[in-house]
Structure 1
């Protein structure tokens, strides 16, 4: 085999591999973004935090089973806490509570949400391309704060 024949055959093989890779990346994989539902664990639709060790002060936050819990007021009543999804519905960024700004913020594209889940600001300072956050019902029993994931 001559050198030019070898290079031509190598180029053809490389082109076929690249084309196959390109075509497969255009296909639907079944995973087109983050799952909007938190992972509640096997067979469980609740998430629980222990108020004797977590969320002691206003502004404290914790993530459990895909739920972001945070304290917005003093006292151990359900109204003193908010429980929402911990993953941003835009592109799956981590959500955190910003007590000083009184908002929930995505750490990936900086979408901002109110304590009621409303969109205050879309990704990268825009007004759209995300949905409101799910806010879960909470209940307190003893020192346990439980959110029901629906």
Structure 2
């Protein structure tokens, strides 16, 4: 998706705001239903975004549809949110500055903690089947990497 389109192209009102994509479908509505039901049909939508035409696209990740407003007289409107279940490599890239400033021992510990996130997430979903705090059961919306292991000592 391109925010600032070439003047010769249809000027859809599409934009990315934080983790939300606001997007207008095609004027002819040819793919509206397929996009609106992508998740139900086992399909994924991924966002490649750039601000200005003729500049490189940047991959932002998978999208989930949150709202669909069907229109007949103008393009339908879609609202998506980005899925954030980063791989260990993505997570490390995202925190590269923090890692660069950490001591060697701190860096090794951070890397070690991130590498196990995929297995950790899998085990949480297997054991709980949902978020223990919110009750959300849609695995595609859950991210385990924000959970910190805490040792609790009970006094008797």
The TM-score range, normalised by the shorter chain, is under 0.3
Greater C-alpha radius of gyration: 1
TM-score by length of 2: 0.24
Per residue, is there more helix in 1 or in 2? Answer: 2
Per residue, is there more strand in 1 or in 2? Answer: 1
